[in-house]
Amino acid sequence: NCIAVYPGTFDPLTNGHVSLVRRAAKVFGAIIVAVAGDSHKTPLFSLDERVAIAEAVFDHDASVMVEGFNGLLVDYVRRRRANVILRGMRAISDFEFEFQMALMNRKLDRSIETVFIMTDYKWLYISSTIVKEVCKHGGEIRGMVPELVRERMREKYGL
Ligand code: ACO
């Protein structure tokens, strides 16, 4: 009955994230989607907006919980009494950053393990940044993000 924390900026949540959470839900007892207030990115959506979107998307997934957090990820994981950090891995290009982050988190707390799940090939080309770029210029992003995300993004960009 292992609890896995799936952290990210989720700006915005994409179908790649959703697919990963649903696959991981078959492996772990519970998943906490942890939306970061402090990430290395400057987000389009506020923390409250990103949390509300994820809550709506995972509303019917019984073992999935959504929460925003600030500060260090390992502190949040300890507060939630979880012992796994879950991350998705798309391509080799993700490896260096993920490796660095996993090692840093391990240095900060050796009792927490980072577990990677390979992203389904269908979402290999997707990232939050590329979806924002396409949407901003009026491109169609249907099928790449949940419908709710698509609507919110079009509002943000005044489309
Ligand atoms: N399918 C498709 N795309 C995916 C998938 C998937 N399954 N998983 C991730 N991606 C993409 C995302 O769309 C996103 O794209 P983008 O870079 O264009 O935005 C990218 O991969 C990764 O973004 P997120 O999944 O949102 O996660 P992110 O890397 O932003 O999360 C985190 C970083 C975990 C929030 C980190 O900054 C953190 O832990 N912050 C808290 C502070 C802390 O503890 N820092 C010390 C830890 S080390 C460190 O922070 C570097």
Q: Which residue has the higher pLDDT, 159 or 59?
A: 59
Distance between Cα 40 and ligand 1 center (Å): 9
Q: Which residues pair with 116 in a beta bridge?
A: 87
Mean pLDDT of the chain: 96
In this prediction the pTM is 0.94
DSSP label at residue 112: -
pLDDT confidence of residue 92? 80
Q: What is the dihedral of CA 157, 127, 29, 99, to 10 degrees?
A: -140
- List, for residues 84-103, the tens digit of each pLDDT value: 999 999 888 789 999 999 99
Distance between Cα 137 and ligand 1 center (Å): 24
pLDDT confidence of residue 61? 97
Nearest of 150, 94, 84 to residue 119 by alpha carbon: 94
- Report helix, strand or coil for 58: coil
- List, for residues 121-148, the tens digit of each pLDDT value: 999 999 999 999 999 999 999 999 999 9
Q: Which of 5, 6, 9 to mutate to test the pocket of ligand 1 (most atoms within 8 A of CB)?
A: 9
- List, for residues 31-55, the tens digit of each pLDDT value: 999 999 988 888 999 999 999 999 9
Report which ligand 1 atom has the smallest distance to the Cα of 124: 2
Give me the interface pTM, i.e. the ipTM: 0.88
Kindly name the residue from 50, 128, 132, 152 that is annotated as catalytic.
Answer: 128
Q: Which amino acid appears at position 98 of this protein?
A: E
